[in-house]
């Protein structure tokens, strides 16, 4: 029987994951089925159980189910435990469900692919929601010189930084506490969706700085335009999307797909 995988979301019709995983599978003539499933908002665990009963081997999980997925897992990776969220479910041969979060690895791989140096870098992360929580562990593992989390609601950034303080140099606060220059600024707020720009000091970017937005689109986000006007090297989050998918694929199939051609194709149809 063909191994079945899916992405759970609500809504999920817009998801690029089926196309990405179909492309990964095609690379090695791997015969898998990957579909998008709109799970009911009040019964994510039931949706996963039904999928497994129908031959499901693993799943990606997107908004709004990443915390529900976290709670149903029998075992978790350390980074998923830290994130409090799961974007990858794996059905073990023992029938137990293992959960991981691959967003942070995806971000770090995409940054490296763009030649962004993380070790020893001064990093500023904007936002303190689930998207940011999911990437802090892999970023700190690269041993930056320091990482500041800045958020509209300062207390959320302070609490988030406290949760990760044992892993490295990390502080949190409001936008008004941001000072000095950064080598890398990552926008993990959803402000871009509304076309908003977090209030940032003008002299934020060090010479040769990079700016990364976890969002992507046909045009650069307001944040990336702001950074480009100040001379930064800008990167949007499409590569992160493909890289997190590749890490999930690896966990299911034991093979690292070639992400470059898949990313190039996606970019063409944005
Ligand atoms: P996600 O799962 O995408 O992280 P979330 O948990 O709702 O979603 O978090 C959204 C983040 O974007 C938060 O950091 C939020 O700031 P607050 O904690 O102050 O709400 C931030 N955000 C959303 N809209 C924003 C805006 N217009 N300007 C600045 N920050 C914004």
- Going by pLDDT thresholds of 50, 70 and 90, the confidence category of residue 56 is very high
CA of 5 relative to ligand 1 center, distance in Å: 30
Total count of residues recorded for the chain: 270
**What are the tokens at 88?**
């990858």
- What's the rounded Cα separation, in Å, for the pair 169 and 58? 35
Mutation test residue for ligand 1: of 83, 126, 152, 200, the one with most atoms within 8 Å of CB:
152
Whole-number pLDDT of residue 250: 98
CA of 242 relative to ligand 1 center, distance in Å: 23
Do 115 and 233 fall within a single domain? yes
Do 20 and 51 fall within a single domain? yes
Per-residue burial over 156-172, b = 16 or more CB atoms within 10 Å of its CB, e = otherwise: bbbebbeebeeebebeb
Q: Residue 257 falls within a domain, yes or no?
A: no
Domains identified in the chain, total number: 2
| Strand order, beta sheet including 3-9 | 32-38, 3-9, 56-61, 88-91, 97-100, 75-76
Q: Residue 130 falls within a domain, yes or no?
A: yes
Atom of ligand 1 nearest to the CA of 193: 24
- Specify the pTM: 0.96
Q: In this structure, what is the dihedral angle of CA atoms 115, 199, 146, 122, given to the nearest 10 degrees?
A: 40
Which CATH number fits the domain that encloses residue 23? 3.40.50.10860
Whole-number pLDDT of residue 252: 97
Residues spanned by the domain of 64: 3-101
Do 182 and 77 fall within a single domain? no
Query: Among this protein's residues, is 265 annotated catalytic?
Result: no
Do 133 and 184 fall within a single domain? yes
- Its ipTM equals 0.97
Query: Which residues does residue 6 pair with via DSSP β-bridges, in sequence order?
Result: 35, 59
- What's the rounded Cα separation, in Å, for the pair 190 and 258? 29
Do 58 and 122 fall within a single domain? no
Do 130 and 87 fall within a single domain? no
Q: Which residue, of 86, 101, 116, is where some domain finishes?
A: 101
Identify the active-site residue in 21, 57, 66, 148.
66
* pLDDT tens digit sequence for 2-47: 999 999 999 999 999 999 999 999 998 999 999 999 999 999 999 9
* pLDDT tens digit sequence for 164-223: 999 999 999 999 999 999 999 999 999 988 999 999 999 999 999 999 999 999 999 999
First to last CA, the chain: 34
Q: Which residue, of 68, 101, 134, is where some domain finishes?
A: 101
């Amino acid at each position: 029987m063909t191994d079945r995988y899916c992405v759970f979301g609500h809504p999920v019709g817009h998801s690029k994951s089926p196309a990405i995983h179909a492309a990964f599978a095609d690379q090695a003539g791997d015969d898998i089925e990957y579909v998008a499933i709109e799970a009911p908002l009040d019964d994510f665990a039931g949706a996963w159980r039904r999928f497994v009963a129908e031959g499901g081997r693993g799943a990606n999980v997107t908004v709004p189910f990443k915390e529900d997925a976290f709670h149903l897992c029998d075992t978790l990776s350390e980074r998923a435990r830290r994130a409090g969220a799961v974007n990858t479910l794996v059905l073990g041969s023992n029938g137990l469900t293992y959960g991981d979060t691959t967003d942070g690895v995806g971000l770090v791989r995409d940054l490296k692919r763009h030649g962004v140096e993380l070790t020893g870098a001064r990093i500023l992360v904007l936002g303190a929601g689930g998207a940011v929580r999911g990437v802090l562990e892999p970023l700190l593992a690269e041993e930056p010189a320091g990482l500041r989390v800045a958020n509209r609601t300062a207390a959320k950034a302070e609490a988030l930084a406290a949760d990760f303080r044992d892993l490295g140099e990390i502080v949190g606060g409001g936008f008004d506490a941001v000072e000095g220059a950064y080598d890398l600024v990552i926008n993990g707020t959803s402000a871009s969706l509304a076309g908003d720009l977090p209030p940032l000091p003008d002299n934020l970017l060090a010479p040769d700085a990079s700016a990364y937005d976890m969002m992507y689109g046909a045009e650069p986000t307001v944040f990336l335009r702001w950074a480009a006007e100040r001379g930064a090297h800008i990167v949007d989050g499409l590569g992160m999307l493909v890289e997190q998918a590749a890490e999930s694929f690896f966990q299911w199939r034991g093979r690292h797909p070639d992400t470059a051609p898949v990313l190039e194709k996606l970019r063409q149809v944005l």
